[in-house]
Amino acid sequence: MQGLGTTTRTVSDGTRKAELGGKEPVLEEHGQRTSRAGDTSTGEAGGGGAPSAYAIDPTWSMPRNKKYEPRLRELMQYVHRCEEPYEKGTTFTREQLLELKPEHIEGWLKMKAYGTDCPDIENGDRPIHARSSSLENSKKSVSFFMPNKHPQWCNGQGNPTKSSLLAEMIKDVKLFEVRGEGSESKAKRQERNVTAAGGTKQKYYRCNHVWKIIKRLINSGHNHHMACNKIHQVYGHDLSVTKIIAALIREKHRYMPFDCHPNLRV
């Protein structure tokens, strides 16, 4: 694929066919093979692809949206089975977009969520790669470019992103998330990372305070055994190290500004 820079490129059927060595791009779905030249899929309610009348509109041009276009390029790369991604600025024709079926979009979304467009749920495949909210956003992005963006998908016509097939697929992903078998939410990941970082920081703070008191005792003439023994004398020899550290932290705030028990001051 040649570099385009800022040039807008229209991907025609002939161009795509030439890039694939003269072969029509195909997509296997539910036991059928869908060809861009003649679609044999039935959609949700049968009836095949959109009628030719829908494909003839010389006044139509693909709308532009910098936020949504990357998702459309990803989808078309998946549908056309391209090894290289479509470049920024690529324009798809109305005819190409009308060829999209719910099965195409479902396979693409499954690839994003499961890592495969044919997940084997019985053998443990789970949607661990993308959240249902991300799939909803991807579906919304693609819907923006559909020539028939408003009508529901029916009898092989309308907006394929509004198919019940996609709604059910995303619903299944949500159920896995509820069970804790899906992709972890960004909020939970951030909370976990903050908690881990906070725990490490707190642990360092507590140990640093204890060593500061021991160092102070050593500098006053105690050896390290005497310093530790003095701390045990204040808090009791039967207390665990963890409880002694907790007591030292409490008394740091209790005896401000001296930051330790009176018997440990030197």
- The residue behind tokens 């570099």 is 3
- The residue behind tokens 């881990």 is 196
Q: How far is CA 137 from CA 34, 66, 104, 130, 182, in A?
A: 26, 14, 16, 11, 17
The residue among 110, 136, 88, 140 whose CA lies nearest residue 29 is 110
Contacts for 60 with CB less than 8 Å, ≥ 6 apart: 94, 147
Cβ(9)–Cβ(91) under 8 Å? yes
Q: Residue-wise pLDDT tens for the chain (266 aa)? A: 444 343 345 555 544 444 444 444 444 443 343 434 334 344 444 444 444 445 467 788 999 999 999 999 999 999 999 999 999 999 999 999 999 999 999 999 999 999 999 999 999 999 999 999 999 999 999 999 999 988 899 988 999 999 999 999 999 999 999 888 998 876 555 555 555 555 555 555 566 767 777 777 788 887 877 877 777 777 777 767 677 777 777 766 666 566 666 777 76
The residue among 84, 74, 136 whose CA lies nearest residue 108 is 74
Check residue 227 and give its pLDDT: 76
Which run of H or E residues covers position 26?
strand 26-29
How far is Cα 153 from Cα 257, in angstroms, rounded to an integer? 72
Check residue 201 and give its pLDDT: 53
Check residue 248 and give its pLDDT: 72
The residue among 191, 172, 169 whose CA lies nearest residue 181 is 172
Check residue 254 and give its pLDDT: 64
The residue among 118, 113, 120 whose CA lies nearest residue 139 is 113
Check residue 122 and give its pLDDT: 94
- The residue behind tokens 């028990």 is 261
Check residue 223 and give its pLDDT: 80
